[in-house]
Structure 1
């Protein structure tokens, strides 16, 4: 597959560096997350306000919640509301494994999605460690071709 032993050693070292960089980037003690559609010091902080999403650091996890409730206004009349919020989890006792965890109740539905990368609870975000891995692999292939 690869020509010489020196080329194989080079490729193996590049893979090792890429893995090490990915681990170092993804393993941080404190995360930064977005917060919105919550109350901060008694005032609402909506996601779609002119202030936008609040950036918070010192989090153990980032959380995005989706809540749907059914309100019964009158007989046979049901009002459905949906709400999405973003939070910084600062207490380790509330953390769950990465991914979404649904919970249904008699009056609605809630899904809590936990993630463990900086600002991962935004609406659209590229996963940084995947991008870093792709860049490392591209550099390794490029350097192999010029050798």
Structure 2
């Protein structure tokens, strides 16, 4: 082998080792009505709120739960909206990047998966906006009855 071929081989080996040793990094926070973790995400305030994922973690995840809590009538007699956002590393073998929305009895759950560093800092972007609009309209209709 020539010196040039040796250098190329060493470079390939080095890059392979480097890619194996580099773990995914995600934002790691959980909050209820705290602007540091809620949408829109405050990147400046969350400096240091990151986590190097474990070697088996495959994705960054963002959970966003929106709940409509019925007031007992003593304060306003109206539903309150409570939003909780959590961002973390997870292992989801076989899952692709994207978001889903699920309607529950008292609100919605938005779940987004992505596989690049710090990708879970983005605002929820649902691929199917029609589903979101229909779900919101149905929930509003149910809560107004």
- When normalised by structure 1's length, the TM-score is 0.50
Q: Deviations over 1:3-61 (max 9, x none)?
A: xxxxxxxxxxxxxxxxxxxxx9xx867311111116xxxxxxx537x665521113321
Map of 2:108 onto structure 1: 109
Cα 1:37–1:60, aligned 2, differ >3 Å: closer, same or farther? same
Residues 1-147 of structure 1 mapped to structure 2, 5 A cutoff: 30-37=23-30, 47=37, 52=47, 54-58=49-53, 59-74=57-72, 77-89=78-90, 91-92=91-92, 96-123=95-122
SS at match of 1:97: coil
Distance in 2, matches of 1:53 and 1:104, equals: 33
Normalized per residue, the structure richer in strand is 1
Q: Deviations over 1:90-126 (max 9, x none)?
A: x346x732100111111110110000001111137xx
Q: Which has the larger radius of gyration?
A: 1
SS at match of 1:71: strand
- Judge conservation of contact 1:102–1:109 (CA < 8 Å) in 2: yes
- Judge conservation of contact 1:62–1:88 (CA < 8 Å) in 2: yes
- Judge conservation of contact 1:30–1:60 (CA < 8 Å) in 2: no
Map of 2:139 onto structure 1: none
SS at match of 1:74: coil
- Judge conservation of contact 1:33–1:119 (CA < 8 Å) in 2: yes
1:77, CA displacement in angstroms?
2.4
- When normalised by structure 2's length, the TM-score is 0.50
Distance in 2, matches of 1:102 and 1:84, equals: 14
Q: Which runs of 5+ in 2 are unaligned?
A: 1-15, 124-145
